[in-house]
Amino acid sequence: MKKFILAILMVMPSLAMSAGGGVHLDKVDLDLHNKESLQSGARLFVNYCLSCHSAAYQRYNRMAEDIGLTEAQVASNLMFAGEKVGETMTVAMKTEDAKIYFGTKVPDLSVISRARGADWLYTYLRTFHTDDSRPFGVNNTTFKDVGMPHVLWELEGMKKLVNANEMKEHPGTAPKFETVSEGKMSAVEYDNAMRDLTAFMVYMGEPAQLVRYELGIYVLLFLVLLFLVAYPMKKEFWKDIH
């Protein structure tokens, strides 16, 4: 028992670092049963993310099965890099080219939601800000010195960070921004769009999770019914012993 407690105490610091590392994370309320939200997220993903990031473990036709679209709709509206609806969501950009353009390998996003968490993704997508010291002129408070440009700037606009010193002195402080230029969306519209994009990436991290949840309910109901039958049988079999 002492060894077990010691092991837990040793692991806790690493868990705390992986949970956020002192970075403020906004909570996101996702509904993976909302097909319209997932469809909106899929559109944003293929238009703004799939140009550089692949999702090599996700097939286009799987979306047709899960988010309420037909294969024809997927092929005509969401397929810009593939030829067949059964293909995975890959990109044409080579790893070597990505290192030249961005200074690092561009990660595959198939399971990014499982690696980072929904709150991290949602916050990251909403915390880009101007920074003249960076190659692309932007930085991110959730992922400092990230090599990625703000590809969604047309939707959100540009903003600057106004409480950098406070965040440095007090880790975990929420960032505050001022608008530099307006985007096509209002702040509320952009937040909702990033919620949809986050929902799609959470779905993509485990497409079968909704089916698993539904099966889990049936399994629990079966176990309850089995208990109602098995417990009286147990009492009957052991009545002479007890």
pLDDT digits (tens, 9 = 90+) for 112-152: 999 999 999 999 999 999 999 999 999 999 999 998 999 99
For the chain, the straight-line distance linking the first and the last C-alpha, in angstroms and rounded, comes to: 34
Every domain of the chain and the residues it spans: 27-207, 211-242
Prediction pTM value: 0.80
Judge whether 56 and 88 are in contact, CB under 8 Å: yes
Neighbour count for residue 191 (Cβ, 10 Å): 17
CATH fold group of domain 27-207: Cytochrome Bc1 Complex; Chain D, domain 2 (1.10.760)
DSSP 77-142: HT-SS-SSTTSEE--S--HHHHHHHHSSPPPP-TTHHHHH-HHHHHHHTT-EEE-TTSTTSEEESS
Read off the pLDDT of residues 49-88 as tens digits, 9 standing for 90 and up: 998 899 999 999 988 888 988 999 998 888 876 678 888 9
Euclidean distance between CA atoms 60 and 45, whole angstroms = 12
